[in-house]
Homo-oligomer: A and B are copies of this chain.
Amino acid sequence: MTTMSSALSPARRARPAAGARAGERASHLLERSRTLVRPALAEAIGRLHPWVGEMAAYSLGWCEPGGAPVATPAHGKGLRQALAVLSAEAAGAPQSAGVTAAVAVELVHTFSLLHDDIMDGDPTRRGRPTVWKAYGTGPAVLAGDALFALAVETLAAAPGTDIPSAVRHLSTALNDLVRGQADDLLFESRPWTGPEAVRPDEYRSMAEHKTGALLGCATALGAVLAGAPRETVAALDRAGRHLGVAFQVVDDLLGIWGDPTVTGKPVHADLLRGKKTFPVLAALGTPAARPLARLLNSADPLDAADARRAASLIEDAGGRAAATAEAHRHIAVVDACLDSLPSTTGTGTGTGTTHGTRDARATRSTRSTDDLRALLDFLVRREM
């Protein structure tokens, strides 16, 4: 995960002291969620075939190939599980509902990383060999399938909740995920210009499906399992989806103008690969983009000097500014979705999803809604 603030304009940044406090709170919320979810996630992984379970644990950064414990933890931040836990709490659900949603979403996320790394041919992730590199392509396909099946099983076995609705949410996210990945793969062979060129609206749809759908599922699933009102679920899903598009656009910005020592990605990797990123697509839509179009159409693939020149032409043609504005637009929608959430959403209609007195619930839900807002707010402004 890389810093979003470096890619967006300074105007969006909080004051340093407030920013540090928000960062501490977000770190604390992420860590609290990881600690809460870990036992249930480990229990689920433990139900897998031992060999497949080892690949899953390796992929989660829990062990080395062969099963030995890792010297230094290599796990991700656990953004999706935190969103699931906090949104469930915000909807007044018992903690178990949030944990179930978090486990399901984390399993799907791990599955998708595993299979995407095969499709994209990526040899490393978080500084370690990808599963297909460490265990082989066939076993990596199998491990992904196992995680997928385990996610569905986890949700189907959740006690006393609206299972059909939860499974529908998960399968919609899964279908969207595949659709987004398919578009992303197909974009690579589409031309830069002409009637077959990728349009910005096609990009938005791809990004919403590929990145936003699972984030939307993470935020909504906790609320679904909590029996939250339909409008709450819809607002949370929409927030996650726009968060995803913003993330994808910022990722594109960082891929061109980010600091490689911070992003961990090689300089201009996306440009060298001919990836249809938002800044390029936005630049190509302007009259100033003629030299950029000539460069992209003439050389395939670009070399390092071409890529440097392309980066500067994209900026000249307004691609950087347009992408920054695009990210801000989606962040504004996330804000609006958060604003539309009732301050107390703990009046779940499902059976078995509420407990304690109404007052205690209202107090807890208000605090939990604040936590969710704090994390989302921090994420969209500071990090991805």
Contact = CB atoms under 8 A, between A and B. Distances in A.
B145 A178 contact: yes
Given A115-B141, A118-B141, A141-B141, A175 B163 contact: no
A138 B185 CA distance: 9
Contacts of A49: 178-179, 182-183
Given A49-B183, A170-B152, A179-B49, A119 B142 contact: yes
A118 B138 contact: yes
A97 interface: no
A164 interface: yes
The number of times this chain is found in the oligomer is 2
Nearest to A55: B182
A350 B227 CA distance: 23
A182 B118 contact: no
Contacts of A139: 119, 185
A202 to B, nearest CB: 13
Interface string A140-158: 0110111011101101110
Interface in A115-140: 115, 118-121, 137-139
Interface in A175-191: 175, 177-179, 181-183, 185-186
A52 interface: yes
A168 B157 contact: yes
Given A138-B119, A138-B185, A178-B52, A156 B148 contact: no
B185 A171 contact: no
A182 B51 contact: yes
B115 A51 contact: no
Given A156-B164, A167-B163, A168-B156, A149 B178 contact: yes
Tell which of A157, A171, A181 has the most Cβ of chain B within 10 Å.
A171
A51 B51 CA distance: 33
A172 interface: yes
21 contacts: A48-B179, A49-B178, A49-B179, A49-B183, A115-B142, A118-B138, A118-B141, A119-B142, A138-B185, A144-B145, A146-B175, A146-B182, A148-B174, A149-B177, A152-B167, A152-B170, A153-B171, A156-B164, A156-B168, A157-B168, A167-B167
Closest 10 CB pairs of A and B: A119-B138, A149-B174, A153-B171, A163-B164, A156-B167, A146-B178, A152-B171, A49-B182, A156-B168, A49-B179
Given A49-B179, A163-B164, 7 more contacts: A49-B183, A115-B142, A118-B138, A119-B138, A145-B174, A148-B174, A152-B152
